[in-house]
């Protein structure tokens, strides 16, 4: 796909990986609509990007916003849906574990109500995570949700063909989701990536390049691309 002149809708497109994707698509000539729960909090967003507000867990709102954006060629969701539980499963608050699946429900809403407005040669990309296939201690909830997202995509891909759907699975990426600042932030990422083959956090821009590959390569569907610094091999 040549994205120049194409219309892209990006849920979670005002922060982190989503924002980096917004910028890269814009630089390549796409018409970009960035959607988030709080678009007014977004910073460094190109002026020519259209902003919309939406909670991906509100089905009616998702459907309404997608109808307003239609038609489009690219549909991306990097929206987390909310907080995710961490820690040992046998000590976990089960409401927190259940709430972690808001990410799955948000993605399901975007696919369910967004695919019909996608062009026949269009592409959908969701953002999962490496814990779906190699879960580190404390990541049971994150890994469970990621595994469900990846299974959903593999099951949906044959149904929507010739439209395509794929997943980006980032490893540890330095994004605003981590609230630490300064030296504390550096220490967190150093520890989190110490065992990786590439022992550093990835950048949102590096992750976004994986999303661009999944959009532009017309021979890829129902699959997962890892941008993880070697997490799976460490």
Chain segment 13-61, per-residue pLDDT in tens: 999 999 999 999 999 999 999 999 998 888 889 999 999 999 999 999 9
Instruction: Residue 96: give the domain boundaries.
Output: 7-227
Q: Which residues fall within 8 angstroms of residue 232, CB to CB, at 6 or more apart?
A: 130, 133, 134, 226
The answer, yes or no, to whether residue 168 has pLDDT greater than 80, is: yes
**How many structural domains comprise the chain?**
1
In a domain, 188, yes or no: yes
Report d(CA 32, CA 82) in Å as an integer: 23
Could you tell me which residues come within 8 angstroms of residue 230 by beta carbon, excluding any fewer than 6 positions away? 196, 197, 198
Q: Which two tokens stand for residue 22?
A: 């917004």
- Band of residue 181 on the pLDDT scale cut at 50, 70, 90: confident
pLDDT at site 175: 86
- Is residue 102's pLDDT more than 90? yes
Mean pLDDT of the chain: 94
Q: Which pLDDT does position 74 carry in this prediction?
A: 98
| 1 belongs to a structural domain | no
d(CA 137, CA 139): 6
- pLDDT confidence band for 176 (50 / 70 / 90): confident
- CA–CA distance, 114 with 11 (Å, rounded to integer): 11
CB 142 within 8 A of CB 129: yes
pLDDT band at 157 (very low <50, low <70, confident <90, very high): very high
Q: Is residue 168 part of a domain?
A: yes
**Looking at 45-54, 90-99, 173-182, 219-228, which range is the least confident one?**
173-182
Domain-embedded: residue 109:
yes
- Report the alpha-carbon distance of residue 228 to residue 201 in Å, rounded: 9
At 164, which CATH number?
A: 3.40.50.720
Instruction: pLDDT band for 219, please (50, 70, 90 cuts).
Output: very high
Task: Determine, yes or no, domain membership for 106.
Answer: yes
Using 50, 70 and 90 to split pLDDT, how confident is the model at 83? confident
- Which helix (H) or strand (E) segment holds residue 165: the answer is strand 164-170
| Residue 21 within any structural domain of the chain | yes
Q: Predicted confidence band at 179 (pLDDT cuts at 50, 70, 90)? A: confident
Supply the pTM of this predicted model.
0.94
Query: Is residue 185 assigned to a domain?
Result: yes
Q: Is the peptide bond before 94 cis (omega within 30 degrees of 0)?
A: no
Residue 89 counted as domain residue: yes
**Which residue intervals of the chain are DSSP H helices?**
16-27, 59-69, 94-100, 102-114, 140-160, 182-192, 204-216
Lowest-confidence pick of 2-6, 31-35, 78-82, 103-107: 78-82
């Amino acid at each position: 796909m040549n994205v120049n002149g194409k219309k892209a809708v990006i849920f979670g497109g005002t922060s982190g990986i989503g924002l980096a994707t917004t910028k890269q698509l814009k630089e390549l000539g796409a018409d970009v609509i960035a959607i988030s729960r709080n678009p007014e909090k977004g910073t460094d967003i190109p002026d020519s990007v259209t902003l919309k507000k939406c909670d991906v867990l509100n089905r009616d709102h998702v459907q309404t916003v997608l109808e307003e954006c239609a038609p489009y060629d690219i549909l991306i969701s990097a929206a987390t849906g909310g907080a995710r539980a961490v820690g040992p499963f046998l000590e976990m608050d089960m409401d927190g574990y259940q709430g972690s699946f808001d990410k799955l429900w948000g993605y399901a809403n975007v696919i369910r109500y967004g695919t019909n407005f996608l062009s026949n040669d269009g592409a959908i990309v969701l953002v999962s995570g490496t814990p779906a296939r190699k879960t580190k201690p404390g990541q049971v909830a994150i890994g469970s949700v990621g595994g469900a997202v990846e299974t959903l995509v593999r099951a949906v891909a044959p149904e929507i063909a010739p439209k395509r759907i794929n997943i980006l699975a980032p490893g540890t990426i330095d994004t605003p989701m981590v609230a630490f600042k300064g030296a504390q932030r550096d220490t967190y990422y150093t520890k989190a990536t110490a065992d990786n083959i590439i022992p550093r956090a990835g950048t949102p821009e590096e992750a976004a390049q994986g999303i661009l590959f999944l959009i532009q390569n017309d021979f890829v569907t129902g699959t997962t691309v890892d941008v993880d610094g070697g997490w799976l091999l460490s």
